[in-house]
Amino acid sequence: MWAIIALIVIVIVGIVWYIQQQKKEEEVAAAAAATAAVETSPSVPSGSVVDTMQSIPATQTGITHQTIPYLVAAGRAKSEDDCRTAAERAGYKSWVYNKENKSCYAYIDNTVLMRMGNTTYIDTNYKKKRVVGCTQPGMKVIEGCEDWTIGDKVRGQGGATTTAELEPIETGISLDACIAKGRSQNVDAIRYAGNGSGASTQGKCYEIVDTANLVGYTGNPSEMNYVQACTDPSKKIINGCE
């Protein structure tokens, strides 16, 4: 009788020991997998932008790349993420990391970024000196750091035909500044002339007078020189910003 009880106890102890050993082995394996993941994953801080491209010199496009210099002064940017953080803090959609002097700056007109996806403009030397990225995760450099899927803004100058330059007349302002100017003047839609539109118009801002003619217009993705936008972000160009 006692021999049977002793045998049962031994079996139970053996089962408990086996379960504990299995659990320990699983914990060790999980820890090893986590360590491997950390070691093999790219070192990108949370919230950083990973969609980056080499920047291009103005001489490659013949277009003046108007920039906001020194978001981070020379010698003070340790990495690309310093540039992203500084651009986000300052309210800019793009950033550029100057690898040569460890500084950061940003583009005023982000439509020029769309040319960076064209190999015609790639300078193999220059890409060793600059890298450009979008401030917000999910945005792409070759899309000008804009979300074109919403419909409140589209590329191109189709549909409407009548425009009037908004006062005060300025050159070299950003798309966002143009939209804000139109909103402040109770304008329903604006046309923004990017840096590629020509020396006399780049960075200029216009009211779209005949907004009804925008109805049905969905934009032209290959157009990099002009953007049309509703000043109310909840409205859409295809509906005439109504």
Task: State the chain's mean pLDDT as an integer.
Answer: 77
In percent, how much of the chain has pLDDT > 90?
41
- Pair (117, 158) in one structural domain: no
27-41, 58-72, 130-144, 199-213 — which is least confidently predicted?
A: 27-41
Q: Is position 162 within any domain?
A: yes
Q: Is position 43 within any domain?
A: no
Q: Is position 184 within any domain?
A: yes
Listed residues 95, 122, 143: the one ending a domain: 143
- Report yes or no on whether pTM surpasses 0.85: no
Report d(CA 28, CA 41) in Å as an integer: 20
Banded pLDDT at 126 (limits 50, 70, 90): low
56-60, 70-74, 213-217 — which is least confidently predicted?
A: 56-60
The CATH number that applies at residue 220 is 3.50.4
48-52, 104-108, 134-138 — which is least confidently predicted?
A: 48-52
Banded pLDDT at 154 (limits 50, 70, 90): very high
- Pair (63, 138) in one structural domain: yes
- Which tens digit of pLDDT belongs to each residue from 155-208? 999 999 999 999 999 888 899 999 999 999 999 999 999 888 877 888 899 999
- Pair (67, 103) in one structural domain: yes
b/e burial code for range 201-228 (CB count within 10 A of at least 16 → b): bbbbbbbbeebeebeebebeeebbbbbb
**pLDDT over 80 at 121, yes or no:** no
Could you give the number of structural domains in the chain? 2
- Which tens digit of pLDDT belongs to each residue from 34-44? 333 222 223 32
List, in order, residues 6 or more apart from 154 with CB less than 8 Å away.
148, 217, 218, 219, 220, 227, 228, 229, 237
Query: Helices in the chain by DSSP H: which ranges?
Result: 2-40, 80-90, 175-184
Q: Is position 112 within any domain?
A: yes
Range(s) of the domain holding residue 77? 52-143
Q: Is position 169 within any domain?
A: yes
List, in order, residues 6 or more apart from 191 with CB less than 8 Å away.
157, 160, 163, 205, 206, 207, 208, 226, 227, 228
Q: Is position 27 within any domain?
A: no
Listed residues 111, 143, 175: the one ending a domain: 143
Listed residues 116, 143, 170: the one ending a domain: 143
